[in-house]
Amino acid sequence: MAPLAEALAAAAEKVAGVAAGRSLADPAQDVQTASEPGLRAAVSDLCHGTLRRFGRSQAIVGALSRRAGATDPLVEALLWCSLYALESGRYAPYTVVDQAARACASLRRVGAKGYVNGLLRSFLRSRARIEARVDTELAARFWYPGWWVERLRLAYPVQWEQVLAAGNMHPPMCLRVNVRRGDPDACQARLAAGGIATRRVAAAALLLDKPLPVARLPGFEEGELSVQDAGAQLAAALLQVDSGQRVLDACAAPGGKSAHLLELANIRLTALERDPARCAAVERNLARLGLSAEVRAADCAALDSWWDGAAFDRVLADVPCSASGVVRRHPDIKWLRKTADVAVFAERQGRMLDALWRVLAPGGKLLYVTCSVFPEENDGVVDAFAARTPAARRAALPDGAPAQLLPGPEHDGFFFALLEKPD
């Protein structure tokens, strides 16, 4: 097993990048962690765990040090990662303190060794007092920026703490059975025979009792299975596609919903994605599943760049959003987003809806989808669109599905609105 010091140093570099405003997914955040799987897994755990409780770690360092916020960003990040390592219970306290001090050399911050050692020891000596002190701060208590907490408290007066807690959980791993290639019951039995326990949570959705690498899933490489959140799997069913229809997936990457639509019916699918590299990911996903579609690199709202004037019977508008419903998968999002971003997303979402309404055929249906729990991006956008588009009718979702799906143990947070265009 790789030394913890090496993992702490690599994680500190990535977390410092997030503190400077860079996403964990940014290529510039690629830190060399050699080829050892154990090291890569340790770095990933340290990054995600630290960023889930980022506000808490910042508050603890602030309570223990007069230098907090004024010292070297890499040293600050090393302390945040080390505090998570201490609180995770995965390592003995003396190991974390020792390895954090050693990580200073890897980060070329040898002069900070005494500071790091002393602060972590101070935390261990006065842990209960420090925790009680910082828990009075919203960001430290709930592990979200204060503005995020306040938005959810206003939007969900009864459920806001439940929503926050769900976003701090480790995400569930759910599979979607490709019904063109296999039967969900048979697939579940085959997984069970291989020691992989699952629970059926939807027609073709199998929730794993314990996440595991896709390489261990029998049938994955053969296209019998995909990894897709159970909430995300609702979109294809709610759009109600029929064979022969012309269907548009307006924001398709990485291709999970496109693939699901194709698995459900023999449709003519056009999948759009602005980024050519992400288009390639859609094509790879479809190829693995034995499916095909017209995949094009285009901005769905710039109709002149891609639309040939032929209307679509169904449109899936899974629009870019704050991703506030999936933060447990991307904990850096909580700390990169700003309160003003929500209105920016809502304005863009409205423009996309206006454009996509034009390509929808009379009698057609458009499903508006976000992975957000902020009402401004959801009902707010749809209500504003309906007010300026009198012909649009918001239909009830099939099977009484809720418009706002809040994150929980089985699924992430999503919003769905089904819009119909009259004949």
| Pick from 323, 339, 336: nearest CA to 17 | 336
The reply to whether 81 belongs to the active site is no
Q: What is the 3-state secondary structure (H, E, C) of the chain?
A: CCCHHHHHHHHHHHHHHHHCCCCCCCHHHCCCCCCCHHHHHHHHHHHHHHHHCHHHHHHHHHHHCCCCCCCCHHHHHHHHHHHHHHHHCCCCHHHHHHHHHHHHHHCCCHHHHHHHHHHHHHHHHCHHHHHHHHCCCHHHHHCCCHHHHHHHHHHCCCCHHHHHHHHCCCCCCEEEECCCCCCHHHHHHHHHHCCCCEEEEECCEEEECCCCCHHHCCCCCCCCEEECCCCCCHHHHHHCCCCCCEEEECCCCCCHHHHHHHHHCCCEEEEEECCHHHHHHHHHHHHHCCCCCEEEECCCCCHHHCCCCCCEEEEEEECCCCCCCCCCCCCHHHHHCCHHHHHHHHHHHHHHHHHHHHHEEEEEEEEEEECCCCHHHCHHHHHHHHHHCCCCEEECCHHHCCCEECCCCCCCCEEEEEEECCC
Q: Which of 174, 251, 279, 371 is catalytic?
A: 371
Token duo for residue 326 = 């999936």
- Going by their DSSP bridges, the two strands 360-370 and 414-420 should be labelled as antiparallel
247 forms bridges with which residues in the sheet? Answer: 269, 314
Distance CA 356, CA 316 (A): 9
Catalytic residues: 371
